[in-house]
Structure 1
Amino acid sequence: MRTGLTSVLSASAATLYERLIVSGGLSLVEHPDLPASSEARELIDKGFARERYVDLPRLVPVEPIRAVDNAILTKQRQILDQYQTLLHMRDEMQALQQVYRSSVFSGEPGDLVRVITDPQEIGALSVELCLSAQYDVVSLETEHFTRPPDPRSARSLPAEVLERGVCFRNIYSRAALEVPGATEMLRKSQESGWLCRVYPHLPMKLVLVDERAALLPLGPTGMEGAALVRSPVITAALRTYFELLWSRAVSIDGTPAKVPPEQDQVLRLVLTGMTDGAIARSLGISERTVRRHVQALLKALGATNRVTLAVAAVREGWVD
């Protein structure tokens, strides 16, 4: 039996197909039970054999090259069906997401801000918000901890979140890096994909996700209580505040922070006047990724369009 056949046929069906090839076909009169056999049905369904009723009825093989083409078409249909199923699932999940958001945030004043006092719920909600991010998670970290940071608790960012192209950025207060264990925790965070900068002093901690939800601490550590804020007005103000700090923060080694490498390439091509499509082809990435990087650059530099982006990039020293 040729092993290539077993990639598309069961072993018994592959054996029958080779038998049909060698014999030129099998008489259905001599083998009356053959058409009902699972091997024969598999060959017929997958386009490797057919029943012929000219003269004596026979089960005959389909020419190998045509059979392979039939197998490829069958596989393509299966892949297309699976793709359509995934698209349908995504649409259903989007609908459920809207229901979820409506149940958590109905738009009533009492739902704009919710106070949480259970430390475990605060921690779980912080993780849940980050995992649900579509494009951006930003945070502020101060020197106030309920216990010293444990580098062993650092975890890599989930693959499914990174595949969505979510950007993770964090600003540390300078004093936070002097807490035992913080430096090692910072190193592991950077290795897992966080972009980190340092600012001399931060008044509070913060987690902001997609400019749709924020966790604000009610005390120094954030574990005494936190406010879950979904007010678009407040989250937009927090975004502006974070981007202002980010533009003034420095890299961990103390040098002025530059644009991340993957965004630097996009920025320099944007400044040449290239379209998103042209940039995507040049860098071998998708247009969606290019647009995401451009939006991140606009926010980071407080620009409103590509012209003001160029001016701001030169002003901040991001390009020569």
Structure 2
Amino acid sequence: MKTCLAEVLSAEAAALYQRLLAAGKLSLHEEPMLRDAGPTRELIERGFARERHVGRPELVPVEPVRAMDNAILLIQRQITDRYEGLLRVREEVEALQQHYLGAKDWGRLPEDRIRVLTDGAEIGALSVELCLSARRDVMSIETEHFNRPPDPQSVRRPPAAAVARGVTFRNIYTRGVLDLPGSAQMLRASVEAGWQCRIYPELPMKMVLVDGQTALLPLGPTGMEGALLVRTPVITSALRTFFDLLWHRAVPVNGTRERLSSEQDQVLRLLLTGMIDKAIARHLGISERTVRRHVGALMQRLGANNRVTLAATAVREGWAD
């Protein structure tokens, strides 16, 4: 009992709760100091005890299972509030970042938006950091040029935290990758790890583009000889358009066509019939907000910027078979 209580109560409050359980109740009339004591307030606020006024005031315990449920619900609310607060802070920081970038004299300080990296270890670490920081999508281009042959064990796995945020991970491989030893296992491992993969006949370079705002571009074939870290909006916007054009023309890897959840598949099929969000929500028994979230995810995965394009692309890609 002491071990589990230590997770949700201070040592003093846990000791008082143990005393309450043993006694069944404590008289606040006989022990007036208990009424305003910190441990007493803690027990009441966390749902482990309550005051009872039948004759003289008493402090009585809440049964342990219900008390722990109260504590868990309170902690869950605190975590949710904290998470939402952090998301708001992140949005405010992004606005400050844009203000900061917009206020700089980029003719005089180009290094703030374009930086040359020459350390291979730094380039590799930065690539991982960019994926960790993603909020919407990670777009990657991979050519057949490697320092070492492809190794399925070294596949970049999308960070769990980013996946939980709904970040989409897409990778386009050049056709030459398929001729390398171990490439089939590497592609399979990439898809199993959470990447959406496609093949394009020939690609000029490797690339990592995060949220359409930050790009890592190579200075050499493998990308480890040196790289450019680019945060210039004009360039990153052009790179995103370049990637989307390639993605629409690229061919899904055999057996790796992106899997939709059952609910996403139903939303897509109903959307293709011309149903509006409200009707789809009513038909599936979900909220309109959930429908919009699914539609947004589908548009992101297919690189569509509106619903008409989404429908056309879904049919072309065979998602509506």
Same structural fold, with TM-score higher than 0.5 when normalized by the shorter chain:
yes
- Segments of structure 1 that go 5 or more residues without pairing to the other structure are none
CA–CA separation in structure 2 for the residues paired with 1:280 and 1:107: 49
Worse overlay, 103-112 or 208-217: 103-112
Match of 1:13 among 17, 23, 31: 17
Residues 49, 59 of structure 1: 8 Å contact kept? no
Once the two structures are superposed, the pairs formed by residues 123-138 of structure 1 within 5 Å of their partners are 123-138=124-139
CA–CA separation in structure 2 for the residues paired with 1:97 and 1:271: 36
| Cα deviation code 1:223-258 (max 9, x no counterpart) | 2222222232322222222222222222323x8x85
Residue matched to 2:89: 92
| Cα deviation code 1:27-83 (max 9, x no counterpart) | 855x687768887666666573548696xxx55245969x99998777756654444
CA–CA separation in structure 2 for the residues paired with 1:42 and 1:230: 49
Query: 1:10 aligns to what SS in structure 2?
Result: helix
Mark the CA change 1:228 to 1:104 in structure 2 (over 3 Å): closer, same or farther: farther
Tell me how far 1:165 sits from its aligned partner: 0.8
Tell me how far 1:287 sits from its aligned partner: 4.6
Tell me how far 1:149 sits from its aligned partner: 2.5
Residues 17, 43 of structure 2: 8 Å contact kept? yes
Match of 2:106 among 100, 105, 108: 108
CA–CA separation in structure 2 for the residues paired with 1:27 and 1:315: 74
Query: 1:207 aligns to what SS in structure 2?
Result: strand
Residue matched to 1:213: 214
CA–CA separation in structure 2 for the residues paired with 1:112 and 1:97: 15
CA–CA separation in structure 1 for the residues paired with 2:277 and 2:176: 41
CA–CA separation in structure 1 for the residues paired with 2:279 and 2:233: 34
CA–CA separation in structure 2 for the residues paired with 1:27 and 1:119: 69
Give the AA of the match of 2:300: A
CA–CA separation in structure 2 for the residues paired with 1:44 and 1:207: 53
Residues 297, 309 of structure 1: 8 Å contact kept? no
What percent of counterpart residues are identical?
Answer: 47
Bigger Cα Rg? 1
Tell me how far 1:200 sits from its aligned partner: 2.0
Residue matched to 1:293: 297
Query: 1:261 aligns to what SS in structure 2?
Result: coil
Residues 266, 293 of structure 1: 8 Å contact kept? no
Give the AA of the match of 1:156: R
| Cα deviation code 1:192-225 (max 9, x no counterpart) | 1011111222121111111112122222111222
Residue matched to 2:235: 234
Tell me how far 1:288 sits from its aligned partner: 5.9
Mark the CA change 1:64 to 1:165 in structure 2 (over 3 Å): closer, same or farther: closer
Give the AA of the match of 2:106: E
Residue matched to 2:155: 154
| Cα deviation code 1:162-202 (max 9, x no counterpart) | 00111111111121122233332222211110111112221
Q: What number of residue pairs does the alignment pair up?
A: 305
After TM superposition, the score normalised by the length of structure 2 is 0.74
Residue matched to 1:122: 123
Mark the CA change 1:147 to 1:15 in structure 2 (over 3 Å): closer, same or farther: same
Query: 2:169 aligns to what SS in structure 1?
Result: strand
CA–CA separation in structure 2 for the residues paired with 1:309 and 1:33: 67
- Segments of structure 2 that go 5 or more residues without pairing to the other structure are none
Once the two structures are superposed, the pairs formed by residues 1-320 of structure 1 within 5 Å of their partners are 10=14, 12-17=16-21, 19-21=23-25, 26=27, 28=29, 48-50=49-51, 58=56, 60-62=58-60, 79-99=76-96, 106=104, 108-109=106-107, 110=110, 111-253=112-254, 260-262=259-261, 264-276=265-277, 279=280, 282=284, 286-287=290-291, 289-296=293-300, 299-300=303-304, 304-320=305-321
Query: 1:196 aligns to what SS in structure 2?
Result: strand
CA–CA separation in structure 1 for the residues paired with 2:129 and 2:99: 17
Give the AA of the match of 2:197: C
Residues 280, 290 of structure 1: 8 Å contact kept? no
CA–CA separation in structure 2 for the residues paired with 1:283 and 1:220: 51
Tell me how far 1:299 sits from its aligned partner: 1.9
Tell me how far 1:103 sits from its aligned partner: 6.5
Residues 172, 198 of structure 1: 8 Å contact kept? yes
| C-alpha RMSD over aligned residues | 4.2
Mark the CA change 1:161 to 1:260 in structure 2 (over 3 Å): closer, same or farther: same
CA–CA separation in structure 2 for the residues paired with 1:216 and 1:5: 52
Residues 141, 206 of structure 1: 8 Å contact kept? yes
After TM superposition, the score normalised by the length of structure 1 is 0.74
